[in-house]
Structure 1
Amino acid sequence: MDTNKLIALMPELAVFKIVVDEGSFTAAARKLGVTPSALSKQLSRLEQTLSTKLLERTTRKLVITQSGKGIYDQCCALLEATKQVVEFTSSEHETPSGSVTVAAPKAFLSIVLQPMVLPFLTQYPDIELKLKARDGDIDLISEGIDIVFRLTEKPTEGLVLKQLGKVSLSLCASPDYLALRGTPTHPTELVNHDCLYLGETTTDHIWDFVKDGEMHTVAVSGRYAVNHSQMRLRGVMDGLGIGIFPDFVIKKALAEGEVKPVLEDWTIKGNYQGDIALQFAQTKFMPARLRVFIDYVAEHMAKYTVS
C-alpha cells in the first residue's frame, strides 16, 4: 500500500479506536461531534480497505472481532507514537504542563502518594494530575496511563523501572487483643486466634511464613474480612484480631503504640511486597510533566518507605 493510502487510513483507525473505547457509535459520535451514521460509514470503509471484519454489530452492543482486537492494539500504539511526536516539541526549559495519569494500589495511593498531591500541584500549577486506584495488571497504553506504581518482586517486563524502595508484609495486633488472647510465638499458633484477611479469593486466608529455611502454611480464620487495608487496620486496632499489612500501612500505628508487631522474626510471603516499582513506557522524548513528577516522587519517597 502506498504512502497516500496509508495516510488516508489514519483518521479511520483513530475513529475505530474511539468507537471501541466508547462502546457504541452513538457515544463515539457524541464525543467527536458527528453523526453515528457517519462513523458507521467510516468503519465500513476501513473494514473494506483492510478486508477484515472489525466489529460485530448487534441491536444491543458492539463486539470486537479477533482481528479487530489486534488492530485495536496497533491503534493504541499508533496513538502513543503520535503523542511522542507532539511531546518532542517539549524542551528542557519549558514550564511543565499537561495531564499526568497515575495508577497505584489503593493503600499505597491513599497513604503514600496522597500526601504528595497538594505540594506537587502547588509547585507545578500547570500540571493536571489524575490518580487511579488500581490493583492487578494494567495495560498502560490501552488504558491511557502514564505511570504505574507496583509493590512486587516481579516488575512488569518491557517497561522502564525506577525502584523507589522496598516494602514487606508485617503481622500486628492491638495491645488489648494480645493482652486478652496472648501473643503467638509460632505461625502454627495462629489457628487459635482471630485473624483478619482480605476475603477477595478462596485462598487469601492461607498465610505462608518462612524463617531460616523453615516454612509453614497456616489456614487462618476470623469474624472479619475486608479488602481495604485501612478498614482492616481499623478492625485490628479495635481488637478484632491479628492482620497482615504492607509495612507502610501500619508504620504510624506502630509508632503510636496502637498496634504491636507479631511474629517479627518470620518472613511473610504474599502480594504487595518487594520493590516499590515506578514504571512507565519507554520513550525517547519524555515530556517535562512526567519527568518532574517522577523526580518529585523519588525525592520525597524516603520518608514514607520503611527500611
Structure 2
Amino acid sequence: MDTNTLIALMPELAVFKIVVDEGSFTAAAKKLGVTPSALSKQISRLETTLSAKLLERTTRKLVITQSGRGIYDQCCTILQATKQVVEFTSSEHETPSGSLTVAAPKAFLSIVLQPLVTPFLTQYPNIELKLKASDGDIDLISEGIDVVFRLTEKPSEGLVLKQIGKVRLSLCASPDYLAQRGTPRVPTDLLNHDCIYLGETTTDHIWDFVKDDEFHSIPVKGRYAVNHSQMRLKGVLDGLGIGIFPDFVIKRALEEGSVVEVLDDWTLKGNYQGDIVLQFAQTKFMPARLRVFIDYVSEHLSQYTVES
C-alpha cells in the first residue's frame, strides 16, 4: 500500500475508533458534529480498503468483529503515538497542564492516593486529574490511562516501572473477638474461627501461609464475605471474625489498638501485596503533567509507612 493511501486512511481509522468507543454511529456523529450516514460511508470505505469486515450492523447495536478488534487495538496505538507527537515540542519546558488519567486499586486509591488529590491540584492548577478505581487488569493504551498503580509481585511487562514502596497482607481481629474465641497460634487454628473473606471468586476463601519451608493452604469459613476493604474492616471491628487486609488499610486501627494482628510470624500469599509500583507507557518525551505527578506521589508516598 502506497504512502498516499496510508495517509488517507488516518482519518478513517480515527473515526472507526470513535464509533467503537461511542457504541453507535449516532453517538459518534454527535460527538464529531457530522451525520451518521457520513460516518457509515467512511467506515464502509475503510472496510473496502482493508478488505475486512470491521463492524456488524444490526437494528439495535453495532458489534465489532474479530478483525475489527485487532484494527481497533492498532488505532489506539496510533492515536497514542499521535498524542506524543503533539506533546513533543513542549513536553520538556511547558507549564504542567492538560488531562491526566490515573488508575489504581480501589482501597489504595481511597486510602493512600485520595489525600494527595487536593494538594496536588492546588499546586498544579492547570492539570485536570481523572481517577479510575479498578482492581482488575488495566490496558493503558486502549483505556486511555496515563499511569497505573499496582500492588503486585508481578508487574506488567512492556511498561516503564517505578517502585514506590512495599505492601504486605495482615491478618487481624478485634480484641473482643480474640477474648471470646481465642487467638490462633498456627494457620490450622483458623479452621475453628469465623473468617471474613472477599467472596469474589470460588477460591478466595483459601488462605495460603508460608514460613521458612512450611506451607499451609487453609479453607477458611465464615458467615460474612465482602470485597470492600473498609466494610471488611468494619466487620472485624464489630467482632464478626478475622480478616485479611493490605497493611495500609489496617495501619490506623492497629495503632489505635482496635484490632490486633494474628499469625504475624507467617507470610500470607495473595493479591494486593508485594511491591507498590507505578507504571506508564514508554515514551522518550514525557509530558510535564505526567512528570510532576510521578515526582509528587513518589515524594509523598515515600513518607507513608508501607514497608513490611
Q: TM-score range by the shorter chain?
A: over 0.9
Distance 2:213 2:161 in 1: 30
Partner of 2:179: 179
Partner of 1:103: 103
Distance 1:256 1:56 in 2: 59
- 1:260 equivalent to 2:252? Answer no
* Shift in Å, 1:305: 3.4
1:179 is paired with a residue whose SS is helix
Partner of 1:245: 245
In the alignment, residue 26 of structure 2 is paired with which amino acid?
T
- 1:30 equivalent to 2:36? Answer no
Distance 1:27 1:102 in 2: 26
Distance 1:180 1:90 in 2: 64
In the alignment, residue 217 of structure 2 is paired with which amino acid?
T
User: 1:171-250 counterparts in 2 under 5 A?
Assistant: 171-250=171-250
Contact 1:167/1:305, CA 8 A, preserved across alignment? no
Contact 1:140/1:146, CA 8 A, preserved across alignment? yes
Partner of 1:282: 282
In the alignment, residue 6 of structure 2 is paired with which amino acid?
L
Partner of 1:45: 45
Distance 1:257 1:299 in 2: 29
Distance 2:13 2:201 in 1: 39
Partner of 1:14: 14
Percent identical: 85
In the alignment, residue 303 of structure 2 is paired with which amino acid?
K
- Bigger drift between 63-72 and 109-118 goes to 63-72
In the alignment, residue 119 of structure 1 is paired with which amino acid?
P
With the length of structure 1 as denominator, give the TM-score of the two structures.
0.98
In the alignment, residue 265 of structure 2 is paired with which amino acid?
D
In the alignment, residue 117 of structure 1 is paired with which amino acid?
V
Partner of 2:82: 82
In the alignment, residue 248 of structure 1 is paired with which amino acid?
F
In the alignment, residue 25 of structure 1 is paired with which amino acid?
F
In the alignment, residue 42 of structure 2 is paired with which amino acid?
Q
With the length of structure 2 as denominator, give the TM-score of the two structures.
0.98
Give the total of aligned pairs. 307
1:131 is paired with a residue whose SS is strand
In the alignment, residue 190 of structure 2 is paired with which amino acid?
L
Contact 1:24/1:61, CA 8 A, preserved across alignment? yes
* Shift in Å, 1:52: 1.2
Contact 1:246/1:272, CA 8 A, preserved across alignment? yes
Partner of 1:300: 300
In the alignment, residue 56 of structure 1 is paired with which amino acid?
E
Q: CA RMSD in A?
A: 0.9
